[in-house]
Amino acid sequence: MATRMTHAKRHESPHMASETNRNKKLSPDEIAERVRAELAMAPVFTEGSVLAKAEPIGADEIAVRAKAALARITGLPADRVSAVALEPDGWRVTVDLIELKRIPPATDVLAAYEALFAPSGALMSYRRTIRYLRDQILEES
């Protein structure tokens, strides 16, 4: 019976740890390490693989992926996708995230995050480019 309890405790431990980690704010270094670990575990596909024959990803699909990925990685709620561009090195997407909710909502602090995705749709990098108040008018560069 003690063996069962030990096995059960060992089995529950990773789930409890992952629950604790979800509630913890991650530093940028911890986030980068998680992204590197996920990319390292991703399968490598060859020219003849099923993925290589898949349809190219469109702007609408990459926008949805970017919004979900940045919200998941940063732990911040996504507000909107403000830019999507296909460039020679992949997809460049800008997502506005809510960094601080305030009352009234017009005074929320938002930040624009620029993410680079490979043409296949894998997240390669991201960075915060600017912080601003929701009701602030920003000049386009």
For 5-16, the pLDDT digits (tens) are 444 444 444 444
Mean pLDDT on 104-133: 96
User: Tens of pLDDT along 18-31?
Assistant: 444 555 677 777 77
Task: Provide the domain count of the chain.
Answer: 2
pLDDT score of 76 more than 70: yes
The predicted model scores a pTM of: 0.61
Sheet with 78-87, edge to edge strand ranges: 78-87, 90-100, 109-117, 123-133
Residues 88 and 122 in one domain: yes
Q: Is residue 49 part of a domain?
A: no
| Vertex 47 angle, CA 46 and 50, to 5° | 80
Asked if residue 109 lies in contact with residue 133, where contact means CB atoms within 8 angstroms, the answer is yes
- Residue 26 belongs to what domain range? 1-42
- pLDDT of res. 22: 52
> Could you give the CA distance from residue 120 to residue 42 in angstroms, rounded to a whole number?
12
